């Protein structure tokens, strides 16, 4: 099993949706797709830019980085054997020019057929969000009025309501401030109406609020969803901070050197140490990039709330979609790193790993930290 395949199969739910595993207990009519091969697949997300490049080069809006949804790519892993995914299979990127041909060859359906149209509508929704987190998947499908078995979203109504509540507390101060701001008279007296519409970006009251901030009418649903998404990822990042700190602390300690370190040849010591330091530095830079985006968000937020100046928050909203997708990519990378470290080190009680196991861990982490990259846009064997 290659490191890239391991990263797909044993991944955080923010990065991969294991349709194969979730379909097994269900009967055919309850399956997510009409295509039996898609019901044996794993959907996954992949950064399309280097998430560990210094923040000055990954802050959205710069010409050197992809715009909005290009920051994260969506693919489907179709296994050779649905009972043993480790045997490999074929990865199909949803933006591949040969998509219809590949769907016919590996999933057994024509995208233009009745069956294909139904399945592609679901895949399109999955492609239009930066993360496969169960909350985001359920919200996105709901907006498109697509119903699937709740087993595939693995989130309870109580959990969903709690996340909505957290996001609402982040946006309420802005709404209240906008209503009281003389330069934003369009939204005066509409706080309750706007809060009711917050989960429906196409609602007239939501569009009214966005227009008050200088956003084009046609862009309102996308911007509004992205604003909620930024608040969502801030909450997720806050919850994951301790886990990432644990990984970084381990990488900076002697516990992240191999058990046999003292008897290794000089070249082997240098090689494993350099590999460790490279992974360590890349993870730190991803964290810095996330913090860089949230710094912009908090600064524009405080300027509006504390100084009654909506100018910078307007600017933030205009770039919200790009921030949302970049945060989705970085959050997915950090979640994958954390869950991978737990699989390898969670039960060691601080004991060093053997050289071969440690090297494998670093290879998987390095693969997670790599972007899809130039020249790898084509689908292929995994």
Q: Which residues of 41-54 are buried (b: 16+ CB within 10 A; e: fewer)?
A: bbbbbbbbbbbbbe
Task: Clarify whether residues 128 and 233 are in a common domain.
Answer: no
CA atoms within 13 A on the CB side of 80: 9
Q: How far apart are CA 26 and CA 283, in angstroms?
A: 38
Structure tokens at 367: 């693969």
Q: Are residues 294 and 214 in the same domain?
A: yes
- Say yes or no: 340 and 324 in one domain: yes
pLDDT at 198: 60
Q: Which domain holds residue 148?
A: 3-155
If asked whether residues 69 and 191 sit together in one domain, one would say no
Domain tally, the chain? 2
Same domain, 121 and 212: no
pLDDT of amino acid 61: 40
Per mean pLDDT, which range of 30-34, 105-109, 276-280, 369-373 is the poorest? 369-373
pTM: 0.86
Confidence grade of residue 347 (pLDDT, cut at 50, 70, 90): confident
State pLDDT tens for residues 195-232.
665 666 666 666 666 666 777 777 777 777 888 888 88
For residue 69, the tally of other CB atoms under 10 A from its CB is 20
Mean pLDDT value across residues 265-271: 93
pLDDT at residue 55 is higher than 60: no
- Domain boundary residue among 136, 155, 174? 155
Residues 235, 325 within the same domain: yes
CA 113 remoteness from chain centre: 30
What separation in angstroms does the CA of 21 have from each of 83, 84, 156, 171? 9, 11, 19, 36
Out of 129, 155, 181, a domain closes at 155
CA distances from 79 to 19, 31, 89 (A): 11, 17, 4
Q: What percent of the chain has pLDDT over 70?
A: 85
pLDDT tens string 149-200: 999 988 888 887 888 787 777 777 777 776 666 555 555 555 566 666 566 6
Structure-model confidence comparison of residues 75 and 374, the more confident one: 75
Domain edge (last residue) among 122, 155, 188: 155
What are the tokens at 100? 């219809």
């Amino acid at each position: 099993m290659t490191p890239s395949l391991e990263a797909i199969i044993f991944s955080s739910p923010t990065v991969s949706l294991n349709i194969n595993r979730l379909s097994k207990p269900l009967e055919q009519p309850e399956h997510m797709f009409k295509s039996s091969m898609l019901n044996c697949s794993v959907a996954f997300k992949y950064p399309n830019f280097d998430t560990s490049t210094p923040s000055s080069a990954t802050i959205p809006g710069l010409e050197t980085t992809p715009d909005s949804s290009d920051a994260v790519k969506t693919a489907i892993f179709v296994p050779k054997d649905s009972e043993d995914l480790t045997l490999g299979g074929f990865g199909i990127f949803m933006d591949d020019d040969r998509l219809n041909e590949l769907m016919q060859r590996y999933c057994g359906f024509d995208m233009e057929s009745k069956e294909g149209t139904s399945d592609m509508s679901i895949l399109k929704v999955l492609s239009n969000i930066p993360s496969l987190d169960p909350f985001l998947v359920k919200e996105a499908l709901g907006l498109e009025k697509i119903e699937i078995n709740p087993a595939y979203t693995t989130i309870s109504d109580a959990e969903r309501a709690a996340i909505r509540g957290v996001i609402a507390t982040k946006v309420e101060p802005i709404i209240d401030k906008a209503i009281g701001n003389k330069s934003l008279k369009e939204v005066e007296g509409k706080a309750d109406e706007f809060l009711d519409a917050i989960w429906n970006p196409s609602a007239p009251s939501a569009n009214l609020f966005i227009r008050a901030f200088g956003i084009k009418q046609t862009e309102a649903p996308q911007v509004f969803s992205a604003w909620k998404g930024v608040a969502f990822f801030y909450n997720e990042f806050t919850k994951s901070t301790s886990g990432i700190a644990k990984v970084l602390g381990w990488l900076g300690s002697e516990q992240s050197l191999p058990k046999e370190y003292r008897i290794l040849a000089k070249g082997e010591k240098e090689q494993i140490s350099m590999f460790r330091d490279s992974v360590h530095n890349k993870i730190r830079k991803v964290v810095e990039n996330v913090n860089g985006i949230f710094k912009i968000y908090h600064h524009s937020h405080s300027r509006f709330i504390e100084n009654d100046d909506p100018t910078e928050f307007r600017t933030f909203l205009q770039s919200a979609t790009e921030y949302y997708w970049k945060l989705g990519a970085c959050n997915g990378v950090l979640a994958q790193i954390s869950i991978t470290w737990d699989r390898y080190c969670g039960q060691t009680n601080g004991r060093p790993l053997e050289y071969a196991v440690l090297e494998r861990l670093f290879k998987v982490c390095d693969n997670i930290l790599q972007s899809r990259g130039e020249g790898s846009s084509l689908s292929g064997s995994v």
